[in-house]
Amino acid sequence: MPLLLDPISVEREAAVTDIAKIAAFLQDALGQKITAYLGGLRDAKVVGRWVRGQVDPRDMVKMRLRSGYQAARMIVEAYGPETAKAWFFGCNTRLDDEAPASVLRRARTPDDLQRVVPAARAFAGAGD
C-alpha cells in the first residue's frame, strides 16, 4: 500500500499543531500507555493531562511526541493503527535493529530523533 500523505504536510502538521492535539492523536491511535512510553514517562495518566491541556510537557518530551506523531500519522494513514503499534515496537533495520519506540524514548537530543521519521516514511511508502 503506498504512502497516502504528503510527508511535507505531515512535517508541517507536527511543527504547528498544539502539543495537546498531538498527544490526543497518539493516544487515540496508539493508546495511552504507548504514548507515555514514547514520551519517556512512567505514568501513563500524564498523557491525559497533556490532552486536556492541564500540563505542558517538557521540551524534549515535546520533541519525542512530535517525531512520534510524524511517524504515526504516515503509518496509520497507510496501514492503520494496529500496524503502527507493531512498527513502533518491532526491530527496524533502518534503526540498527532497534525498535522505533525505544529510540524515541531514549532520545536526549534532537539529533537522537533524526532517524525515526525517515524510517517511518520508508515503511509507509513500501510497495511504491
- Taken in order 33, 39, 74, 27, the sign of the CA dihedral is positive
Instruction: List pLDDT tens digits, range 74-110.
Output: 999 999 999 999 999 999 999 999 999 999 999 999 9
- Over pLDDT 70: what percentage of the chain? 95
Q: What is the DSSP string of 11-63?
A: HHHHHHS-HHHHHHHHHHHH-HHHHHHHHT-S-THHHHHHHTTSS---HHHHH
Q: What per-residue confidence (pLDDT) applies to 128?
A: 39
**In this model, does residue 116 exceed pLDDT 50?**
yes
Domain boundaries, the chain: 7-124
Supply 31's cell numbers.
Answer: 493508546
Mean pLDDT of 42-58: 95
Q: What per-residue confidence (pLDDT) applies to 52?
A: 96
Q: What is the pTM of this model?
A: 0.92
User: Using CA atoms, how far apart are residues 115 and 104, in angstroms rounded to an integer?
Assistant: 10
Q: What per-residue confidence (pLDDT) applies to 93?
A: 95
